[in-house]
Amino acid sequence: MSTTEKLRVDKYLWSIRIFKTRSQAADACDGGKVKQNGNNVKAAKPVAIGDNFEIKTEGRKWMIQVTGLLANRVAYSEAIKYYVDNTPEEDKTAPKAMAAVFHTGKRQSKIGRPTKKDRRNIEGFMEGDTSED
């Protein structure tokens, strides 16, 4: 991409794979979760090489510096060449939110009702022990 073309912030953040969708990137900009050179930024603001961004996502906080402009989404191994990640280590290793079992709807392994296989094993064991008086 030539340096004379303008690239929107939301499109840039989507193309370097900070956000999964462009609409998520635009919503983050509108919600004040993206700062360009220390100031809140709107999704349509143009990006320039050398700009610094502070981005808050659900997973972590990012501090990046733009090293190149990328208009189309590419593989992660290619996308990381277009920015420098200046995020402090404590923000990179922030504890991930663990989903509670009752939120996912799945039961923990080996807790609760027996599976069909477990039931067959129990019935087979009980049938083998037929000692009546």
pLDDT profile of the chain (133 residues), mean per 10: 73 92 92 91 92 89 92 91 87 61 60 82 75 56
Give the pLDDT score at 1.
54
Q: Find out whether 32 and 56 touch, Cβ atoms under 8 Å.
A: no
pLDDT of residue 67: 93
Distance of CA 84 to the CA centre of its chain: 18
> pLDDT value at position 63?
92
Residue 122: the pLDDT is 85
Amino acid (1-letter code) at residue 88: P
What is d(CA 28, CA 119) in angstroms, rounded to the nearest whole number?
A: 50
Q: Which two tokens stand for residue 103?
A: 């939120």
